Structure 1
């Protein structure tokens, strides 16, 4: 596997827009995972907390302060054979009102044989009028394991905010040894209020999280995960070794009440420290 430099897409507007890209590569050296390649461009930066036992941790920081129409962000990572990496974010991402255009964010990760990845960003908060498209592409080799989580908040209810109009698209594509093992495409808007109010869709939820575990032991996590998610969550074994779950909640606080223990269960370890700051 070899890292490639991501090309920053041109913004769709003549107005100044934020662009950022990071490319990193990690490899196993003895019993530890080491950084072997790093490139940072524009508004995206990576921070590396003090080493501790377990996977290497990398924390993403968007220095632009949020996303709006025309912004472009891309993360590209290579996790070498047997290496272990946890990727998270320093704080919640914010998608603000888009006067024109759409903000786009892409995460692409390649994993070698026996590699482990935890992609655990903190919440994305959608503000009124936001327009955001995200894409996650994960390519795994034999024996690789991945835990993916994406929490989203539909306006900050505790701040008196209501999400009436917004556009949100989120697509996941996961391949194991070149074979598609999981795909999910979520889309709503511009009438976000109608979608979130529908009993068959949002059921009045103010927050949501999607979770995916690709690992040989996934089936054994199904029953305890359903218990951890509570009555507003659901989990299914999509196929052998692939477990998917979705959780709805009234707001971000109640989402975390169930999400944090669910993630700790699936990860088999405590969440990154930035989640608890």
Structure 2
């Protein structure tokens, strides 16, 4: 059963209420999506198997964007022995609103011996949006997890900077019920946080990748590769409590995602002995 989501004070009864949940389970020598749960305008495309036994799933949001009052919930679990990858066929969008906030909540869980790659395409936050993006990851035992979020604030190519509105992003990772990483950031359109060196330093795109691997030699290899590939971006890496966390700031979503994808490849190979297999939809 999908866990209920508490309604924030700024939310109103209007808007789409949608839920998509499923479990990755081992069956017949490969991973399959099981116990699917669905309500409202969220759907799952048929699974793909470019890695034979690893199940690739595309999560679909047919309306194409999230508006004020919408509440989207993703509830994805990987059972023991299963390995699933979730992405999206297009960028997510939070549109402007003059009313209630738009909320997207992501609940991810991985059992001992399971693995999950959570790799949605970038999320675009329009000027005037009031958006909440919350991700909680629950890991058990030796569960393997690799996940990212890439955020684009405003539409600078259309001369529409993020000069008004709000975006709140929360990331929580727990292992065996104990917190490992807890982050919360609040971005206000036009604020000093967006332009000052102690904030985004004028960059409009930022991304975070977290993976369940903690190896100093691997970290050094990732840093060296990033140093060769960065242009105007800023890249950082930290290790702690069995996690490696990479962060990138830049002005091009494809480049930010590319730097994170290279780190994902290195982490996955080190942790699982399996190189990254980018979903085909990323090339369209």
TM (norm. structure 1) is 0.90
In the TM superposition, what whole-angstrom CA distance separates every residue of 1:241-276 from its partner, at most 9, and x where no partner exists?
211121000232432442332333333312211222
Structure 1 stretches lacking a partner, 5+ long: none
TM-superposed deviation, 1:219: 4.0
Q: Does 1:109 align with 2:111?
A: no
The whole-number CA distance in structure 2 between the counterparts of 1:126 and 1:259 is 20
Match of 1:78 in 2: 77
Determine the C-alpha separation between the residues in 2 that align with 1:36 and 1:275: 25
| C-alpha distance in 2 between matches for 1:29 and 1:254 | 37
Structure 2 match to 1:121: 120
- Secondary structure of the structure 2 residue equivalent to 1:50: coil
8 Å contact kept, 2:110–2:145:
no
Partner in structure 1 of residue 174 of structure 2:
175
2:16 equivalent in structure 1: 18
2:240 corresponds to which of 233, 238, 247:
238
Q: Distance in 2 between matches of 1:256 and 1:77?
A: 22
Superposition pairs for residues 176-215 of structure 1, below 5 Å? 176-189=175-188, 191-215=189-213
Which piece of structure 1 moves more, 122-131 or 104-113?
104-113
Change (3 A) 1:25 1:72: same
Equivalents in 2 of 1:23, 1:71: separation in Å?
17
1:221 aligned partner = 218
Tell me how many residue pairs correspond in the alignment.
270
Q: After superposition, give the CA deviation of every residue in 1:176-222 in whole Å (9 maximum; x if it has no partner).
A: 12221121212221x4442210111101101010110113x554431
Separation of aligned partners in 2, 1:60 and 1:30: 23
Deviates more, 1:131-140 or 1:50-59: 50-59
Closer, same or farther: CA 40–218 of 1 in aligned 2, 3 Å? farther
CA shift for structure 1 position 7: 4.4
1:98 Cα offset (Å):
1.3
Aligned residue for 2:201, secondary structure, equals coil
Cα distance change of structure 1 residues 81 and 256 upon mapping to structure 2, 3 Å threshold:
closer
**Equivalent position of 2:271 in the other structure:** none
- Please, what is the CA RMSD of the aligned residues? 2.1
Query: Partner residue of 1:35?
Result: 33
Once residues 75 and 118 of structure 2 are traced to their aligned partners in structure 1, the CA distance between those partners, rounded to angstroms, is 12
Counterpart Cα distance in 2 of 1:39 and 1:92: 23
- Tell me, yes or no, if the aligned pair for 1:27 and 1:36 is still in contact at 8 Å: yes
Residues 22 and 6 of structure 1: is their aligned pair in 2 closer, same or farther, counting only changes over 3 Å? Answer: farther
Could you say if the C-alpha distance between residues 253 and 90 of structure 1 is closer, same or farther in structure 2, counting changes exceeding 3 Å? closer
Deviation at 1:160, TM superposition (A): 2.4
Checking the alignment, whether the CA contact within 8 Å between 2:150 and 2:257 is kept in structure 1 is no
Distance in 1 (CA, whole Å) between partners of 2:32 and 2:192 is 47
Moved more, 266-275 or 161-170: 266-275
For residues 9 and 204 of structure 1, the distance between their equivalents in structure 2, rounded to whole angstroms, comes to 34
Contact 2:209–2:260 (CA<8 Å) still a contact in 1? no
Structure 2 CA distance for aligned equivalents of residues 22 and 102 of structure 1: 20
